[in-house]
Homo-oligomer: A and B are copies of this chain.
Amino acid sequence: MSAEQCKVEEALGILVGKWKPVILLHLFSEGTLRFSELKRLMPGITQKMLTKQLRELEEEDIIERVVYPQVPPKVEYSISEYGKSLQSVLLTMNEWGTAHALRKEQLAKSQQKATS
């Protein structure tokens, strides 16, 4: 892993975005979700953002989008075959992130003691 041919950004580029990891984790655990279900699972996200992030993930072939031609419309999202290869990356990051969050928490606690 040399710095000259660093491809971390390739993975980073797909995961960055305030909501992308959460979207992916939901799809990984639920399998298939409608647009409205995703929205309900993420209070705070706007329709515009959800649409945008889903489009970007779709463009990278990470997720699949299926439109049912009916009224009212129904659109379902799921992880694509290729997208499944991302799970291990997500898992690694989540594990490290969990430990890091814990560490920060404990560090804050010990500093609280020191100043009290």
Contact = CB atoms under 8 A, between A and B. Distances in A.
A31 interface: no
Contact of A94 (B1, B82, B99): B1
Interface stretch (A3-11, A46-54, A70-78): A3-11
Interface in A92-111: 92-94, 96-101, 103
Interface string A2-36: 11011111111011100001100110110000000
Given A2-B29, A3-B26, A10 B91 contact: no
Shortest 4 CB-CB contacts between residues of A and residues of B: A10-B97, A7-B97, A3-B25, A8-B21
14 contacts: A6-B25, A7-B98, A7-B100, A8-B15, A8-B90, A8-B94, A9-B97, A10-B96, A10-B100, A10-B101, A12-B12, A12-B21, A12-B97, A92-B93
A80 interface: no
Given A11-B93, A16-B12, A96-B11, A21 B6 contact: yes
A92 to B, nearest CB: 4
A67 interface: no
